[in-house]
Amino acid sequence: MNKVLVNGITGHLGYAIAKELKDRGYHVRGAMRNKSRLDQYPLLKTLNLEIVEADVLDELSMVQALSDQDGFFQVAAVFSLTSKDPQKTVIEPNVRGTETVLRAAAKAKVAKIIYTSSIAAVGFSKIGEPHRDENHWNLEATDPYTRSKALSEKRAWELAKDLGLKMVSVLPGMMLGPGNKAPTATVKFLIDVLKGKIPGALPTSLSYVDVRDVAKAHVDLYENSNASGRYIATHETLSMSQFIGEIIAHRPHARASSRTIPPVITRIFPYLDALKHMVTGSPRTLTRALVQDLICREQRYNSTRLSREIGWTPRPVKESIRETIAWIEQQSGLRI
């Protein structure tokens, strides 16, 4: 089973999975919607992959991309905080995309699928509640992207059963680490902290993990014939104050504050963020729905299933933060 397709190859995790597969000797085919954009990803080009065009909403293109492939890593998903109609532009495409690629995988007779979900599909805990695990589902989320991840994975499992597909899902935490072309939301936040654009910490806790460790988990689960069901792939939970504090520890001269902002003040931030987006065109980083899901909640998970079944040992988050900062500075040519 040495021929595999990675869909979502231009993303942070997609690249990391492709690199892990190449390092292990796999023939990797990468799918992207427009091959003419490949020159925008010089790091990806160094992997010497076979690149094909495919769209998750076009079943024929996905069947063609999956032809003669033993395995399939479905990583691609739509993410947007600025959509005026998130039901049509985020939720529906992610759910329909999942349906399309799984039906295509069935037609192409792919032997095994690794489906990338998210801890968003498991959800947050209220402070003091037990840690969440693979048995939990977050179907009541307010934030459209979060809701789309839960609904998409739920639909994936329904289809996998109906179509007789062998599938495993991986639920990563907030990913850090080198190798990204464009900053993910997590890395963008780290950059904003370094540039002094974050006035303080939201009253929430998030769970972090290195993208390289998540990639390793994907490939280890692919190679493990006994792997089945869902696997949470995240590591350390830090309050946002602690996370900012770790960044400051690596760059003491950063114009940042790790003080926690009271919840009542935090609820004003989405309006300020929207105003900034309107005036400057900068990407949205905080919406009212996202704040509602985050505030006074925490991402605390039991990830022992991965450790127990495949010996997964993720690196410390401090190390990931340090190497992410170094990567950002290397790419920008600046020391922040």
Summarised one tens digit per residue, pLDDT across range 60-78 is 999 999 999 999 999 988 7
Greater confidence (315 vs 78) lies with 315
Q: How confident is the model at residue 81 (pLDDT cuts 50, 70, 90)?
A: low
**Mean pLDDT across the stretch 219-236?**
97
Spatial distance between the Cα atoms of 151 and 95, rounded to a whole number of angstroms: 7
Q: What is the per-residue pLDDT for 332? A: 73
Summarised one tens digit per residue, pLDDT across range 260-273 is 888 777 777 766 66
Count of H-run helices and E-run strands, the chain: 14, 12
Domains annotated for the chain, with CATH where assigned, are 3-181+209-236+300-315 (3.40.50.720)
Spatial distance between the Cα atoms of 311 and 134, rounded to a whole number of angstroms: 17
Per-residue pLDDT at 241 exceeds 80:
yes
Percent over 70 (pLDDT), the chain = 89
Residues 6+ apart with CB under 8 A from 283: 81, 82, 188, 277
Report the mean per-residue pLDDT for the chain.
88
Summarised one tens digit per residue, pLDDT across range 104-127 is 999 999 999 999 999 999 998 877
**Mean pLDDT across the stretch 174-194?**
87
Q: How confident is the model at residue 188 (pLDDT cuts 50, 70, 90)?
A: confident
Q: How confident is the model at residue 26 (pLDDT cuts 50, 70, 90)?
A: very high
Report how far apart, in Å, the C-alpha atoms of 94 and of each of 101, 107, 145, 286, 324 are.
Answer: 11, 20, 9, 21, 28
Greater confidence (240 vs 334) lies with 240
Q: How confident is the model at residue 82 (pLDDT cuts 50, 70, 90)?
A: low
Which tokens sit at 224? 């493990």
Go through 83-94 and write b for each residue having 16 or more CB atoms within 10 A of its CB, e for each that does not. Answer: beebeeebbbbb
Rounded to 5 degrees, what are φ and ψ at 239? -65, 155
Per-residue pLDDT at 89 exceeds 90:
no
Q: How confident is the model at residue 283 (pLDDT cuts 50, 70, 90)?
A: low
Q: Annotated catalytic sites, by residue?
A: 149
Predicted model pTM: 0.91
Summarised one tens digit per residue, pLDDT across range 131-183 is 899 999 998 777 788 888 999 999 999 999 999 999 999 999 999 999 887 77
